[in-house]
Amino acid sequence: MATSKFGIFDFGFINNSGTFVNELNSILEGTSQYAEFDKFNKHFYSHVTLNKNIIYLNKYGYQKDRGDNLIEKDDANYAYYETGFVDKEGEKIYGFFQRKTLNRNFEGIYFLNLNGVQNLVKENLLFNIGLICFDNPETSWEDGFDFIEELATTAIPEKWTYGTHSSTIPHPILKSYLEYIFIRLTKEDGGKKILIDDNKNYALFNSGLLNIYFKPIYIVVQIKKGSNGIYYANPIILKKRTTLAEISFTINGNPISNKIMPEPAQFYNSVNEIVFKPEPEFYDPDDEKLRHIVQERKNRFPDNYQERSTTELAVILDTAIKCSYELSKRNYKLVVPQYRPQEDKIQYLMPIYLGATFNKLPDFALVLDHDSGYYKPETILELEDAYQNARLIAKPDNFWLNPEQK
């Protein structure tokens, strides 16, 4: 499927760009309707881009502010529009987008009925760690902050905050780490590394972290039923095994033994899968991806580069990539792996020095896909985002990827 910037791709970042049509068609099963990409995209262009038939919501799910003015795109946390399809119950299917903060692009696309849209907004008012939430509306954020703080204190000391900008959430790198560790565990080996008790009231998983006594940190979450199925809630750190007995956590009628305590997430089967290999045929720059980097991600370039033309930036970037490639031949640890949860795959982070001055931190990290023997540029990340992604697989010890540095 071509990901032209026409239509839906002009509105925001599509996390599921290669799968969303299939996802929509799975909802349409049992009806006489079938979604095709071209028609879907043209409908979006006509319905939303041209005719502005889209509804914007603030973070509380309201279409209007206190002054009774409609929420505009710049002030919206959510957006949804009618796709023109209905599900087998006859309810309209909406395309839904959201963003974490107002200075970021919308991300999507998710398909929901109106009740699903409303429920998702309500759920997002709770403090979430990815798929895990704190579901007491009165204390959700306080409970979430306390849990993150306790986890940071329990684990071997590590830098879990950004070096160059502040966050309203304590230890944001730790929060992101736990989010994606749990997502990976739900996918790995069919989710078998998450232990579910006989009564299906609790789940137990290995966080992948060690406490100060070098013992694994396990986390227990409640399994609850909501309007959209089961969800995970209210995690606690397992500090003693007797806690499992107190909540009647058994497997096949027996208490958990050391032998069946869950293993941590595994991101690769062989170390060769995460080692960057400088090959003679190094990389295959896709024109669309390069345009994405030098135009749509220009704000991630240093200030003194942002006024330069697209062509000039493309040439500078190409030269910088080749320089980093030469460096990687001489230091196998220069390029580090990262995990991309949306596609459940390994990518690579390469430091990019636009000015060819290697005695300071790089300007950003280039994300590379490995496909058919080539490394393909995907996007660029600020260094703190790159560290956050790389930390899932291992704590980077690279000189250039260090959250302590500013």
**Which pLDDT tens digit goes with each residue over 114-128?**
999 988 888 888 999
Report whether pLDDT(3) > 60.
no
The secondary element (H helix, E strand) that includes residue 114 is helix 114-124
What does each C-alpha distance from 401 to 163, 170, 302, 350 come to in angstroms? 11, 21, 17, 10
Look at residue 404 in the predicted model and tell me its pLDDT.
61
What does each C-alpha distance from 265 to 130, 161, 208, 293 come to in angstroms? 16, 23, 7, 31
What does each C-alpha distance from 23 to 10, 16, 109, 124 come to in angstroms? 20, 9, 10, 22
DSSP 48: I
Report whether pLDDT(1) > 50.
no
Asked which of 34-48, 151-165, 257-271, 388-402 is least confident by mean pLDDT, the reply is 388-402
Asked which of 79-83, 240-244, 254-258 is least confident by mean pLDDT, the reply is 254-258
Q: Look up residue 363 and give its amino acid.
A: D
Question: How far is the C-alpha of 310 from the C-alpha of 295, rounded, in Å?
Answer: 7
Report whether pLDDT(342) > 90.
no
Asked which of 159-168, 194-203, 255-264, 335-344 is least confident by mean pLDDT, the reply is 159-168
Q: Where are the alpha helices (DSSP H) in 5-67?
A: 20-27, 37-44
pLDDT band of 11, cuts 50, 70, 90? very high
Report whether pLDDT(17) > 60.
yes
Mean local confidence (pLDDT), 81-102: 94
Report whether pLDDT(109) > 80.
yes
Q: Which two tokens stand for residue 220?
A: 């227990």
Average confidence score pLDDT of the chain: 90
pLDDT band of 257, cuts 50, 70, 90? confident
pTM for the predicted model, two decimal places: 0.74
Q: Across 103-163, where does the E strand assignment appear?
A: 107-112, 127-129, 132-134
pLDDT band of 296, cuts 50, 70, 90? confident
Report whether pLDDT(4) > 50.
no
Look at residue 2 in the predicted model and tell me its pLDDT.
41
Look at residue 163 in the predicted model and tell me its pLDDT.
74
Q: Look up residue 163 and give its amino acid.
A: G
Asked which of 46-50, 95-99, 283-287, 337-341 is least confident by mean pLDDT, the reply is 283-287
Mean local confidence (pLDDT), 74-94: 96
Asked which of 11-15, 30-34, 237-241 is least confident by mean pLDDT, the reply is 11-15
Distance from chain centroid for Cα 278: 28
Mean local confidence (pLDDT), 90-119: 92
- 243-249: list long-range contacts, CB under 8 Å, 24+ apart: 244/204, 244/220, 247/197, 247/201, 247/202, 247/220, 248/197, 248/199, 248/201, 249/197, 249/202, 249/204, 249/220
As a whole-number percent, the residues of the chain with pLDDT over 70 amount to 96
Q: Look up residue 316 and give its amino acid.
A: I
For 26-58, what is each residue's pLDDT tens digit?
Answer: 999 999 999 999 999 999 999 999 999 999 999
Give one word for 239, left, alpha or beta, with left for phi > 0 and alpha for psi -120 to 50: alpha
